[in-house]
Amino acid sequence: MTLDTFPLDGKGNSLLHIASKSCSSMQIVKYLIRHFKMDPAWRNFEGASSVDLAIQSLEEAKLGASPPQRVSELQALVEHLEKEHEALAGDLVTVTLPGQAEEGQVRVYSKKMVKFFERIGLTSMAISYAQKLAENDVDMEGLGLVTDVQLKELGINKIGVRNKILQGIRDWKKYPD
């Protein structure tokens, strides 16, 4: 399933992330995992999983003036999320960003290319950009020859992102690994 299937907020939080953070109902969390097979370990744009957000809420509840019932609910939620991730690991659907491999598909990309995009600050879309380039037969050697027009043709439409990539290429040429 892709992001088009599961709605996300501006930080990349799925419904499971939000339910885990608010812990409004264990039934909602169980429903999202069982019915939609959402992975509690899937990370939002900031790198936090549903488990991480539930743990964060638990820590905040322990430090704050939360009633003991709230702390025990959060503890049960954390344990449930961890248990469900392990129990359903083979059946879970991983939510993917646009350009990432969907269930049953294999996409090849260079780890060096991903590291390049991460190094220039495009961490959340590094795999997607690396896949776009790999699908168009652009390797690390060819990356040094890519122009602004070519990046636009590859579907990288935001001028700020293209400029960041081109500046990263110039810096990489000056100081190769």
Question: 105 in a domain, yes or no?
Answer: no
Question: Are 21 and 83 found together in one domain?
Answer: yes
117, 125 Cβ separation under 8 angstroms? yes
Question: In this predicted model, which residue has the larger pLDDT, 134 or 65?
Answer: 134
Question: Are 117 and 58 found together in one domain?
Answer: no
Query: In whole angstroms, what is the distance from residue 89 CA to residue 59 CA?
Result: 26
pLDDT at 85: 64
Domain boundary among 51, 71, 87: 87
Question: 36 in a domain, yes or no?
Answer: yes
Q: How many domains does the chain have?
A: 2
Question: 21 in a domain, yes or no?
Answer: yes
Question: 59 in a domain, yes or no?
Answer: yes
pLDDT at 88: 55
Total residues belonging to the chain: 177
Question: Are 74 and 123 found together in one domain?
Answer: no
Question: 33 in a domain, yes or no?
Answer: yes
Question: 100 in a domain, yes or no?
Answer: no
- CATH code assigned at 134: 1.10.150.50
| Residue 93, beta-bridge partner list | 38
Question: Are 79 and 118 found together in one domain?
Answer: no
User: How much is the pTM?
Assistant: 0.44
Question: Are 80 and 116 found together in one domain?
Answer: no
Tell me the pLDDT tens digit for each residue of 78-97. Answer: 787 777 766 655 544 444 44
99, 131 Cβ separation under 8 angstroms? yes
Tell me the pLDDT tens digit for each residue of 111-133. Answer: 888 888 888 988 888 888 888 88
pLDDT at 106: 45
- The string of DSSP codes covering 75-95 is HHHHHHHHHHHHHTTTTPBPP
Question: Are 82 and 21 found together in one domain?
Answer: yes
Helices 111-119 and 159-174 cross at an angle (nearest 10°) of: 110
Question: 103 in a domain, yes or no?
Answer: no
Chain position carrying tokens 């290429």: 169
Give the range of the structural domain holding residue 147, as residue numbers without chain letter.
111-174
Question: Are 37 and 78 found together in one domain?
Answer: yes
Question: Are 32 and 71 found together in one domain?
Answer: yes
Question: 52 in a domain, yes or no?
Answer: yes
Question: Are 120 and 79 found together in one domain?
Answer: no
